[in-house]
């Protein structure tokens, strides 16, 4: 039986990502923490591009948490229908908007505990807010792309996002986790794609234990 290849060395990965994607950022359009929070909820099982087409009109109609909280379930469902799963998304947005108004005076909180206490906001959503809006360098959101590429690089053997987050937190310095997650996400969208990763074009190929493997794992 051949020896198991070691995981990709994290310092190499970090240096490559910094060179390849220096301008990596969240691809959702937003002007405030609240807008990013709503957009992140809408982005579940939906492309960022489609969300960005919906949110300009949505935020013109409902400019703040109070307006969202006052909206009826039916009218909000109709407003977010193009993003899919619109009933659950409308319910979550109304719920978190009301919670922000009642518990935080209309201002999005800036702690993991308070954010994950909002309806519809899990750890990934909280980390996105903390990293993009509040400057948390240790923010480590695990989306589909981060999970897939981390698995292929041997940085985790887990499939559950929270377990993946734990593995990555143990491997990546706290001060570089946000840049790691955002840049790795870009790499997953552009090169290490799900079905047919472009290994011949990948700057991480020589350290990747799955080099040349084209499965979706």
DSSP assignment, residue 176? G
**How far apart (Å, rounded) are the C-alpha atoms in residues 132 and 33?**
8
Secondary structure of residue 132 in the 3-state scheme: helix
Is the Cβ–Cβ distance between 8 and 104 less than 8 Å?
no
Give, for 16, the enclosing helix (H) or strand (E): helix 10-20
Query: Hey, how many other C-beta atoms are within 10 angstroms of the C-beta on 44?
Result: 17
Give the span between the Cα atoms of 68 and 95, in whole angstroms. 9
State how far the Cα of 197 lies from the Cα of 194, in Å rounded to an integer.
Answer: 6
Beta-carbon neighbour count of residue 102 at 10 Å?
11
Q: Which of 124, 137, 167, 206 does the annotation list as catalytic?
A: 124
Q: DSSP letter at 9?
A: P
- Catalytic residue status for 143: yes
Task: Note if 5 is an active site residue.
Answer: no
Catalytic option among 107, 143, 160, 206: 143
Active site residues: 124, 143
């Amino acid at each position: 039986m051949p020896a198991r290849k070691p995981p990709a060395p994290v310092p190499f990965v970090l240096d490559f990502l910094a060179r390849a994607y220096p301008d990596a950022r969240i691809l959702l359009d937003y002007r405030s923490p609240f807008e990013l929070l709503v957009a992140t909820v809408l982005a579940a099982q939906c492309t960022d591009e489609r969300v960005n087409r919906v949110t300009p009109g949505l935020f013109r109609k409902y400019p703040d948490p109070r307006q969202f909280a006052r909206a009826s379930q039916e009218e909000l469902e109709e407003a977010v229908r193009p993003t899919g799963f619109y009933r659950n998304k409308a319910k979550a947005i109304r719920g978190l908007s009301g919670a922000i108004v009642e518990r935080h005076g209309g201002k999005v909180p800036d702690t993991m505990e308070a954010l994950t206490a909002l309806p519809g906001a899990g750890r990934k959503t909280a980390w996105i807010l903390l990293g993009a809006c509040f400057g948390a360098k240790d923010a480590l959101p695990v989306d589909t792309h981060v999970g897939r590429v981390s698995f292929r690089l041997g940085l985790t053997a887990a499939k559950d996002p929270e377990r993946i987050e734990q593995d990555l937190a143990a491997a990546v310095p706290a001060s570089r986790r946000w840049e790691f997650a955002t840049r790795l996400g870009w790499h997953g969208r552009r090169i290490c794609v799900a079905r047919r990763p472009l290994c011949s074009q990948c700057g991480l190929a020589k350290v990747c234990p799955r080099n040349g493997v084209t499965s979706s794992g």
